[in-house]
Amino acid sequence: MFIFVHFNAVKGYLLKINSMIWFWAIVGMVVLLVVGVPFWVSILITSIVWIISVIAQTSTKKGNASRVSHESNWLERDDKRDDSVIDISGESIRIPPSTDQDSEIFNCDYVPYWSKEYIYSTRSLEYASARVKAFYKRFKNSFISGEYLSLDENENYAFTLMFDFLDEYDNQPDLTRLTTQMQALIEHYPVTKPYAELKLIQRAKKSGQWKKVCTNGETSIEDIMEQFPHSREWSFSDRYSEKLRLSKSEQILFDYFESKWDSMCSGFEFMKIRQVELFREVMKDVKEQLIYNTAISFNFKSQNGAYDHSQSVFTYHDLTIEEKVRMVKNCIFRLCRNKLYERYELNRSVDIFTYEHNERSKKEITGLLELVGPLIDPLAKKLPEFTDEEETEVNTVYRTRWRIVHEEVKAAFNQNMDVQYYLQNIHRLTKINKENPGVQHLLFDAAKLLAGINNVAALKVYLQYIDVYHHFFNDEEKPLPKCTCKKLFRKEGLQSLFEDIVNQYKKDKDREKAYEAIHDLYLPVRRKINLDKKEIEKITRLHSETVQLLNEVMDEEEDEEEVVEKMPVVNNLQSAHHLLDGHQLELLGLFKQSDYCMTKTEVEDFAKSKGFMANGLIEKINDLCYETLDDVLIEDDEDCFVVSDDYLKTIIYGNQS
């Protein structure tokens, strides 16, 4: 028994000793054994040294603890001293305590440090130091009076103030005052924004203070909704229950729909409203019994449910029939969404199923939707076209919709060549794409299309392109292609003059002045000639016969020129038969008809119709004509091919000009 007690005592000591003592004890015993000391003697010596070390260590710890305790008691006594008593030469004088406002703590020039923590109520202030409490009081009073102190990143003060205001509201509700306080907090201490916004909206919704029940000057839920329109805290029924006159059951249903992925057309309010109206109309023709029968006939896969070994799926066994009915209606609602997007040619559909279904449930719902789909189509077709405002909003997301319309307008323009009609459509497309960076491509393409047909209109459109381009981008705009410039600037120097107009327009942004300068580019240059009538009559009398002869010669030359002009282009090219074959001559004839410039697509279409490759046909013509011109006849210019009219005349007429 004694040995057992002794062993337990030793064990207690072993557990209390420092690990370093244990280490050196083992080392000491090993050394004693190595030098030849008997084993039991080594254990005895080591044990004695061990016990002495433990006792010394324990004494040291007790001394430290005593010193700490003494210091703690001294600090406690110091803290409890009456600061209003000042000891002077053994005598005491009592000074009356000052108010918080006059105290040094309250009026300190810096923000007392308050270690960062998660503030979830004003209770955190209870555990703060006196200096922090005093500054918070000053901070709150200053805030209420309209003075917003800098906190030097001590965010605890701002969050505590937020909860302070919320507590005051809960005790005495005043939504107008709370809104003003939260707005000021968000503005001057932005770190509180997500929390202040959330708490304000929650309190507002709970108050039920809609505009219809507010008196003059009171803040309503609609007012707060206008201030924070994009908050996730607003549900669909919050935004639209009044506007769409939703019943209570509809509010619950549409809030459920919005919570299931992207069934609502996020961003487009008018599309959300149309989707709801379309769903309401469809549901008038769908019997509730049909939806109910579909709902009760299936289970759903879910990792949260029980595993059905017979079907190898996870299923809900506790899902209520009301929940299943809402899920079926959500599928119909999402089908309405997809049909709505098809109606307006917006290619972005959503998945009909928001749950993982087994084959049976998917089959049941699919069968129901096959019955509902034909009911939606005629209703969707009756929906009105987008207004210009709606088009503008949609085009900010769907940035290439203008291409479809532009292709239709171009096709009509190529048939009737009505420049005014084309410009009107371009103007409307530009207007409804004013927030779409892709509109720059529309104007650039329009300027190229009008070149050679109405050069003044083409340059005006290009000027609009420059405006639009610099509205969205900071770098240099794209210059017109060379083949387009050849159509626009046939006279030497015109292109340089237009570049001067553009540079001036970039400086003064005077569009009317630039348009007038573009008109002047194409005015004929007229010389002022002073004629002496007496001298003309004298020369006429002296050389009447000569004049008559010259007039006859000039008339004959004009007739010959008219005949040449009226001859078909291909006939004019027949003089080049010794160089080129029929297909090559026909292509050059097309170049002449197209003002010596054809797009690569046009050339490829022609070559394909004749069984050739476009590049091979062009190279062949250039090779055959190179000896005559000492240069290439057809040049490759980005997206088109260009022929010099002088070179073409040389090939057709030899050395004639």
- Residue (of 567, 571, 601) closest to 588 by Cα position: 571
* Span 175-218, pLDDT tens digits: 999 999 999 999 999 999 999 999 999 999 888 888 888 888 88
User: According to the model, what pLDDT value does residue 79 have?
Assistant: 42
Q: Is residue 638 part of a domain?
A: yes
Residues 27 and 131 in one domain: no
* Span 119-151, pLDDT tens digits: 889 998 988 999 999 999 999 999 999 999 999
Residues 241 and 356 in one domain: yes
SS (H, E, C) 597-608: EEEHHHHHHHHH
Residue 446 has pLDDT above 90, yes or no: yes
* Span 4-29, pLDDT tens digits: 334 444 444 444 445 566 667 777 77
Report the C-alpha gap between 56 and 68 in whole angstroms.
18
Residues 593 and 653 in one domain: yes
- Give 39's pLDDT tier (boundaries 50, 70, 90): confident
Please count the other Cβ atoms lying within 10 Å of the Cβ belonging to residue 223: 16
Contacts of 72 (CB under 8 A, 6+ apart): none
User: How many residues are present in the chain?
Assistant: 657
Q: Residue 244 has which token pair?
A: 């769409």
Please indicate whether residue 308 or residue 243 has the higher confidence score (pLDDT): 243
Element (H, E) at 75: helix 39-79
Q: Residue 416 has which token pair?
A: 């009737």
Residues 244 and 359 in one domain: yes
Q: Is residue 295 part of a domain?
A: yes
Amino acid at 632: V
Residues 195 and 307 in one domain: no
Any idea of the CA torsion for 153, 157, 159, 161, to the nearest 10 degrees?
-150
* Maximum distance among all Cα pairs of the chain, rounded to whole angstroms: 166
Work out the average pLDDT over 628-649.
77
Residues 375 and 404 in one domain: no
User: According to the model, what pLDDT value does residue 551 have?
Assistant: 60
Element (H, E) at 478: none
Q: Are 221 and 205 in contact (CB under 8 A)?
A: yes
Domain that holds residue 39: 2-60
Q: Are 278 and 262 in contact (CB under 8 A)?
A: no
Element (H, E) at 385: none
- Give 80's pLDDT tier (boundaries 50, 70, 90): very low
CA distances to 406, 435, 488 from 409, rounded to whole Å, are 5, 21, 22
User: According to the model, what pLDDT value does residue 140 have?
Assistant: 93
- Residue (of 226, 230, 183, 234) closest to 205 by Cα position: 234
Q: What is the mean pLDDT of the chain?
A: 77
What is residue 579's DSSP assignment? Answer: T
Contacts of 35 (CB under 8 A, 6+ apart): none
The most confident of 453-467, 478-492, 565-579, by mean pLDDT: 453-467
Residue 263 has pLDDT above 60, yes or no: no
Report the C-alpha gap between 191 and 630 in whole angstroms.
75
Q: Where does a domain end: 188, 206, 230?
A: 230
Q: Is residue 244 part of a domain?
A: yes
Q: Where does a domain end: 458, 489, 521?
A: 521
- Let me know if 233 is exposed, middle or buried by CB neighbors in 10 A (0-12, 13-18, 19+): middle
User: According to the model, what pLDDT value does residue 99 have?
Assistant: 43
Quote the number of domains for the chain. 5
Please indicate whether residue 517 or residue 655 has the higher confidence score (pLDDT): 517
Residues 641 and 655 in one domain: yes
Work out the average pLDDT over 307-315.
51
- Give 320's pLDDT tier (boundaries 50, 70, 90): confident
Residues 372 and 459 in one domain: no
Q: Residue 308 has which token pair?
A: 């059905």
Pick the range with the lowest mean pLDDT from 48-52, 60-64, 608-612. Answer: 60-64
Pairing of strands 91-94, 85-88: antiparallel
Facing residues of 307 across strands? 314
Amino acid at 137: K
What is residue 56's DSSP assignment? Answer: H
User: According to the model, what pLDDT value does residue 259 have?
Assistant: 75
pTM value? 0.57
Report the C-alpha gap between 630 and 625 in whole angstroms.
8
Angle, CA 42 vertex, CA 37 and CA 45 arms, to 5°: 125
The alpha helices in 80-190, defined as continuous H runs, are: 130-144, 156-171, 175-188
379 φ/ψ sector (left φ>0, alpha ψ -120 to 50, else beta): alpha
User: According to the model, what pLDDT value does residue 525 have?
Assistant: 52
Q: Is residue 561 part of a domain?
A: no
- Residue (of 646, 623, 652, 622) closest to 636 by Cα position: 622
Residues 420 and 505 in one domain: yes
Residue 635 has pLDDT above 50, yes or no: yes
Residue keyed to tokens 């090993």 = 30
Report the C-alpha gap between 590 and 607 in whole angstroms.
12
Q: Is residue 130 part of a domain?
A: yes
Residue 565 has pLDDT above 50, yes or no: no
Please count the other Cβ atoms lying within 10 Å of the Cβ belonging to residue 435: 14
Q: How far apart are the first and last CA of the chain?
A: 136
How many whole angstroms from its chain centre is CA 188?
A: 27
Work out the average pLDDT over 594-618.
82
User: According to the model, what pLDDT value does residue 439 have?
Assistant: 92
Residues 52 and 129 in one domain: no
Secondary-structure breakdown of the chain: helix, strand, coil percentages, each rounded to the nearest 5 = 65, 5, 30
Q: Is residue 489 part of a domain?
A: yes
Residue keyed to tokens 């299943």 = 324
Residue 170 CA neighbour count, 13 Å, CB half: 9
Facing residues of 306 across strands? 315
Q: Are 158 and 168 in contact (CB under 8 A)?
A: no
* Span 493-542, pLDDT tens digits: 889 999 999 999 999 989 999 999 998 888 765 444 455 556 556 655 65
Percent of the chain with pLDDT over 70: 73
Residue keyed to tokens 């809104």 = 179
- Give 613's pLDDT tier (boundaries 50, 70, 90): confident
Q: Is residue 272 part of a domain?
A: yes
Residue 651 has pLDDT above 70, yes or no: yes
Q: Is residue 470 part of a domain?
A: yes
Q: Are 375 and 281 in contact (CB under 8 A)?
A: no
Residues 297 and 409 in one domain: no
Element (H, E) at 635: strand 634-637
Facing residues of 92 across strands? 87
* Span 357-394, pLDDT tens digits: 667 778 888 899 999 999 999 999 999 999 999 999 99
- Give 232's pLDDT tier (boundaries 50, 70, 90): confident
User: According to the model, what pLDDT value does residue 313 have?
Assistant: 45
Work out the average pLDDT over 82-102.
42
Q: Where does a domain end: 179, 205, 230?
A: 230
User: According to the model, what pLDDT value does residue 95 have?
Assistant: 37
User: According to the model, what pLDDT value does residue 440 have?
Assistant: 93
Report the C-alpha gap between 466 and 479 in whole angstroms.
10
